[in-house]
Amino acid sequence: MDRRTPLAEDATQPGRSLEPWLNESDALTAALRAGSRDFAEGLGGPTTAFALVRAERLGVAVVDRGGALLFANDAWRQAVAGADLDREAMAAVIANGGRRTVLIDHGPAMVGRSTAVFAAVGLARQWALPEEALSWMEDDRAAAVILVVGALSAAQVLADVCAAFGLTDLQTRVAIGLVRAGDVRGAAAEAGVSYQTARKVAFDAMRRVGAPRITGLIERLVRLSFGVWPQGEAGAAELTDVWGLSVRQASLALRIAEGASRAEAAAAAGMSEATAKKELEVVFQVMGVHSAAALARAVTEARALALITDATHDEAQLHNDLVEPLGLFQRPDGSQVAYSDYGPRSGRPVLILHSSSASRPAPSRLVAALQAQGFRPLSLDRPGFGLSDPHPDRARWRSDPFDAAVDDVKLLLAQLKLKRVDIIARGGAQVATAMAQTAPQIMGRVLLVNPDPASASHTRRRGPVGALQEAYMRHPDLIEGLVKLVASNLSSSQSRRIMLKAVESSPLDLAIFADPRNMADYRRGFRLFATGRISGYVAEQTAIHHWTCPPLSDVGHWRVLLSRHDFLHDPDRTYEVWRDILPQARFDWVEDGSRLMVMSHADLVARTLAEAADPP
């Protein structure tokens, strides 16, 4: 039998398939060290949200110290609709201050639950509430405020979407019919008008929305119904970022949530039922549900949670695994930066720096552990990562992407009106050192977790990740082509296999990925790479090979946690490199720690930051 080498000239070669990188990585690494560039054959060349729910959906009530109503608007009365409120939670807030978030179950007759927040009057005065409620809060008898948002049906949200575009009542009916039926004839039947009328109204709606085709109108309505403003291709990327869904999957989810059968949803989306079945399997997996009813409940509740979060400026501390919080702001040149603010606003702000192989979403256990220690976790997509545009000064960014990233950190602090922020680098330690050299005044406590040394200082490379890093170091001109190869294989079915293959030499990391929550968190971190947004990764992987840093002074308050079992780098070599850079910092070894320590030891990471000293 002809046994082919990993660099053979056929369809299995690394430039055309990821399989050799996964299954023959050691042989590839050896070939690369021998000077081979055969892997380049077949590589492609280089290339150059928010919640939308109308304010009147928010129900507000003001109560006195005995829990009696002083004021309640119509939306509150409709949302509560005779349901029993959590009197114990309300009494605790009245007695002790603070806030409590609860879900009100209306029984099987209603889809979804209402989200309620009880808060002391003093806390709620800064929230975005109706003027009438704010005036009642100044009453001497007022003790607490109750916010309620009922589960929002797909029809309600689609109506809100149409209102946001300024569509007339008839245009709204036809537009909703288009989403439900998928074509003008079906929309006419839904709206109760003739085909000719529906066709004319649909074209009027297209002009108002700015969609060149009927399919474009439907796509924009679907995106916005999931809280993502339609901005060309960026809109599709934001839908993936916030919900983990493609536009096609979101379209199916919306129709199923409205009660359509799988066959009806498939026909409206213009796909076969077999294709719809596969897409819905992904939707159910991403949304963490097992039935159409549960999907409808999850979608409607998530929209309600988004409105509560907006109204309370994130103070409600809602824990919803489905939606990654998304904030956007613009740089002075008009380009976009994306960030997440996990709250609460009363916490001590800490910026979590992501690694170059991930983007903004932070591990949920780390977020929870930091919040339990009194912190307010923040995260930021660095230039070219996730939903952040590349840095406007392209030459400077490509030369030193870590230094350029500090500009966005400064802008984030200005956006959030913060003077200083603590730092946790789960990767991204190079950005922390750049901040220390150019903007130390904005840094509070600093904790580096398994910081990466420069690639040239690696003394061991194992497995698929090691083979790719060897290729990056020896052939930096081919990094982008290699990244595209990997990104093209990041489908939901492939990503789990790739992740497990990458850590197969580390039993501790395999055990971490055995927890579905950790696996889901890790996948959230890199899923936007699959949409082709890879420029930040390319810039940082190119720069890391020649990165150096002089010894830093005034870092005696910095802390460094190093794992004894890091499959990617030699821990002793990592210690030597970073001890030279941070001669005054405190280093601690975690004997049972591995590469993914921020997941397995989230409480230790949060506690270490809480115990760290403030800068002098």
In the chain, domain spans: 19-48+459-542, 57-150, 155-287, 327-454+549-611
User: Using CA of residue 106, residue 107, residue 109, residue 112, what is the dihedral sign?
Assistant: positive
Instruction: Indicate the class that CATH gives domain 327-454+549-611.
Output: alpha beta
**Dihedrals phi, psi of 329, to nearest 5 degrees:** -140, 165
Contact 478, 36 (CB under 8 A): no
* Alpha-carbon span 110 to 245, nearest angstrom: 26
Q: If we measure between CA atoms, which residue out of 554, 551, 542 comes closest to residue 577?
A: 551
pTM of the model: 0.62
* Alpha-carbon span 255 to 33, nearest angstrom: 53
Q: What pLDDT is recorded for position 131?
A: 75
Mean pLDDT of 493-507: 72
Q: What pLDDT is recorded for position 569?
A: 82
Query: Which segments of 6-126 are extended strands (E)?
Result: 59-63, 69-72, 99-104, 114-120
Highest mean pLDDT pick, 342-346, 383-387, 441-445, 525-529: 441-445
Is residue 566 exposed (0-12), middle (13-18) or buried (19+ Cβ within 10 Å)? buried
Q: How confident is the model at residue 429 (pLDDT cuts 50, 70, 90)?
A: very high
**What CA dihedral angle connects 19, 20, 26 and 29, to 10 degrees?**
-120
Q: What pLDDT is recorded for position 454?
A: 72
Contact 308, 268 (CB under 8 A): no
* Alpha-carbon span 59 to 75, nearest angstrom: 4
Per residue in 97-152, pLDDT (tens digit) is 888 877 666 555 454 556 778 889 988 876 767 778 888 999 999 999 988 876 56
The overall average pLDDT reported for the chain is 78
List the single range of 294-308, 482-496, 540-554 with lowest mean pLDDT: 482-496
Indicate the fold that domain 57-150 takes in CATH.
Beta-Lactamase (3.30.450)
Contact 57, 49 (CB under 8 A): no
Instruction: Fill in the DSSP letter of residue 12.
Output: T
Q: Provide CB contacts within 8 A for 110, sequence distance 6+.
A: 151
Q: How far is CA 309 from CA 12, 238, 444, in A?
A: 49, 18, 27
If one compares 374 and 221, the residue with the highest pLDDT of the two is 374
